[in-house]
Amino acid sequence: MSLPTVLISHTPPDEIRERIGEVLQGAAELVAFPEVAEARRVDVLQTCRAVLTYHPFRDLGIDSLVQLKNCGLMQCLTAGIDYLPLSEIPDHILVAYNAGAFAEPMAEHVVAMALAGSKRLRIEHGLMKDGEFNQFVPTKKIAGATCGILGFGETGREVARLVQALGMKVEAINRSGKTNNPIDFIGTLDDLERVLENADVLVVTLALTKQTDRLLGAEQFRQMKSDAVLVNVARGEIADEDDLYAHLLTHPRFTACLEAWWIEPVRHGKFEMKHSFLDLPNVIASPHNSGMTDGALITAAERGAQNVLRFLRGEEPRFIATDDVKMG
């Protein structure tokens, strides 16, 4: 009996193809769509059992998606899939996002930003350039402080592990309000106000959905401590751009560490801001690169392939997108 076909919608680098092949060895035949002869493309599309992809609409085209008659799983290699119009994918295909694909490097980035913000590194660097030497201005103590984590999934749990090693308490929010991890509090979005009020550092790792779009606005920022540090490594849209900028202007001790932006090149084709965040001393910025460490793309591909393997073995695949995912 021939092996089922797993279609990669793009041509991956050799090291990524090899890692995916190692995971699926003996369970599937791996085929890269751009390498398929034109005459065979319809047959490959109609018979493949799963698709590994970054962007199926760009790589395959909308007309090809309707040919995926035997496909049961579309495994995205990105952690977030809010940029995809999921309603245009045939109903019989499960769509899985790659939760935790970059959890470890992202968590390291979160801690780096949280420490930099808490210790006023950017602010004091700028002041020293102007001749100020604020040796006795206090900074925020991390040990004993509280880290609030909005989105206690794969990345959120890795953040918790690192900040707990620094002596921080952890209060978190997820969909179920339950976790097996030893933290100080777990709740749902109904408990948002409690977490906001207690957080010395607030980390956003939530998926962008209809419920989380503009979740943090003027009212929520007012509920936070005046010297809190906000670290957003999820999606810019979870925080209202206008309200955040206004809060930063009126609360100079509040710090925003922005890794995710409202208009970004990968999702929107350009980088653009409505306000001059980068001119504010209480903003620490990075170009949504927290996951880009050596080997990270290989690890992400391996994790996506492992979910495909679960599906091919008849097991329930993980991280299936639900109806509340915000359409791209």
Tens of pLDDT along 84-127?
Answer: 888 899 999 999 999 999 999 999 999 999 999 999 999 999 99
> Per-residue pLDDT averaged across 120-140, rounded?
96
Under the banding of pLDDT at 50, 70 and 90, the label for residue 83 is confident
For residues 86 and 94, what is the distance between their CA atoms, to the nearest angstrom?
10
Edge-first strand listing for the sheet containing 185-187: 185-187, 169-173, 146-150, 201-204, 229-232, 255-258, 283-285
First and final C-alpha spacing in the chain? 40
All residues at 6 or more sequence positions from 125 whose CB lies less than 8 Å from its CB, including other chains: none
If DSSP codes are grouped into helix, strand and coil, which group holds residue 108? Answer: helix
Sketch the domain layout of the chain as residue ranges. Answer: 5-101+295-312, 103-285
| 181-209 tens-digit pLDDT | 999 999 999 999 999 999 999 999 999 99
Q: What is the pLDDT of residue 325?
A: 54
Q: What is the pLDDT of residue 86?
A: 86
| 30-44 tens-digit pLDDT | 999 999 999 999 999
Same fold, 5-101+295-312 and 103-285: yes
The whole model's pTM is what? 0.92
Which of 60, 31, 67, 66 shows the shortest CA–CA distance to 308?
Answer: 31
Under the banding of pLDDT at 50, 70 and 90, the label for residue 328 is very low
Q: What is the pLDDT of residue 326?
A: 42
Under the banding of pLDDT at 50, 70 and 90, the label for residue 323 is low
> Per-residue pLDDT averaged across 218-231, rounded?
98
From 3.30.420.40, 3.40.50.720, 3.40.47.10, 3.90.470.20, which CATH number describes the 103-285 domain? 3.40.50.720
Q: What is the pLDDT of residue 324?
A: 58
Q: What is the pLDDT of residue 84?
A: 86
Superfamily of domain 5-101+295-312: NAD(P)-binding Rossmann-like Domain (3.40.50.720)
